[in-house]
Amino acid sequence: MTNSHIVHVNDTNFQYEVISFSQNTPVVVDFWAPWSRDCRILSPLLEKLIGKEFRQFRLAKINADENPNTTLMYSVHSLPTVKAFANARVVDQFVGMVPEMRIRQMLINLTQAETNSLTLEKANNLLDDNKPEAAEKAYREYLHTNPQSSEAFLGLIKSLLRQNNYLEPYGMLGISPITKISTEAQQFRTFADLMTKYTEDNLPGNSELDVIFRASLRLITLGNFPAALDGMLDIMRKDKDYRDGKAKIVFLATLDLIGANTPMTKKYRQELSSILF
């Protein structure tokens, strides 16, 4: 076949041509055999739809008789079987000859899934580019159709905190099941609580360390993260467990807001380790 959207795959290259490929582009896999009458009807229909109307996808055709390992791995017991892969996993499938409307619906669903994936990628990039307002909008859009996404939920929390919005994240984290299983979410809830108390002038300020702590929180509201982190390190050098570890929690939450893989984050994590260990 000359159509670049349609490929023949086998046991040897299935991992690369389908699983790996689907991490960037959804792949529809047609398990077929030459003896199947339904396959001879369905395969041309799939080729027409993906070759002309849904060209953003790939159609991978695999002869089930000649490739028993893949056929067995994906529990194909009847032909034709069609499975749609996105992000390296099966997201939709059907068995046997089905109406064209069912095939179109699967492809439309894949289109929506691809759009959602781009929305989440856009939100993450906006947050990395320090555009929290735009990131918040994109995260909310994604969560509207993917309400169980922990990645998008935590991204929304970060985008709100980066805008000095502390009350809303604190409430959201209080009712989310993600908070119970995610250390990052737990840290953000404590962080949001402390930042709220700071803005309400409801933190103790009796000792020298209390003064440094309040000053560091103020620096966070101003977006001066390095100076805030330096302040927290100064506190922990004098008292590792300052107020039940709150300096450490704020320190780690601030690093999460900055981003896990930035040079600044790596530098400050090393400094924290040298103090604690």
Place of tokens 């991992």: 15
223 conformational bin, left if phi > 0, alpha if psi -120 to 50, beta if neither: left
Residue 5 near residue 28, CB atoms below 8 Å: no
pLDDT, tens only, 195-251: 999 999 999 888 999 999 999 999 999 999 999 999 999 999 999 999 999 999 999
User: What superfamily in CATH does domain 6-98 come from?
Assistant: Glutaredoxin (3.40.30.10)
pLDDT, tens only, 22-69: 888 899 999 999 999 999 999 999 999 998 889 989 999 999 999 999
- Measured CA to CA, the distance from residue 262 to residue 256 in angstroms comes to 10
Residue 91 near residue 84, CB atoms below 8 Å: yes
Q: Which residue has the higher pLDDT, 94 or 110?
A: 94
Indicate whether 165 pLDDT > 60: yes
What amino acid occupies position 167? L
Percent of all residues in the chain with a pLDDT value above 70, rounded to a whole number:
99
pLDDT in the model for residue 237: 96
Distance of CA 267 to CAs 76, 239, 255, 270, Å? 51, 21, 10, 5
pLDDT in the model for residue 2: 45
Non-local CB neighbours of 260 within 8 Å, separated by 6+ positions: none
Domain ranges of the chain: 6-98, 130-276
Q: Across the strands, what pairs with 7? A: 60
pLDDT in the model for residue 74: 94
pLDDT, averaged across the chain: 92
pLDDT in the model for residue 4: 73
pLDDT in the model for residue 30: 98
Taking the CA atoms of 222, 224, 229 and 230 in sequence, report the sign of the dihedral they define: negative
Q: Which residue has the higher pLDDT, 115 or 27?
A: 27
Helix (H) or strand (E) holding 21: none
What letter would DSSP give residue 261? T
pLDDT in the model for residue 91: 84
Helix axes 132-145, 100-128, angle to 10 degrees: 160
Place of tokens 């119970």: 180
What would the two tokens of residue 251 be? 């320190």
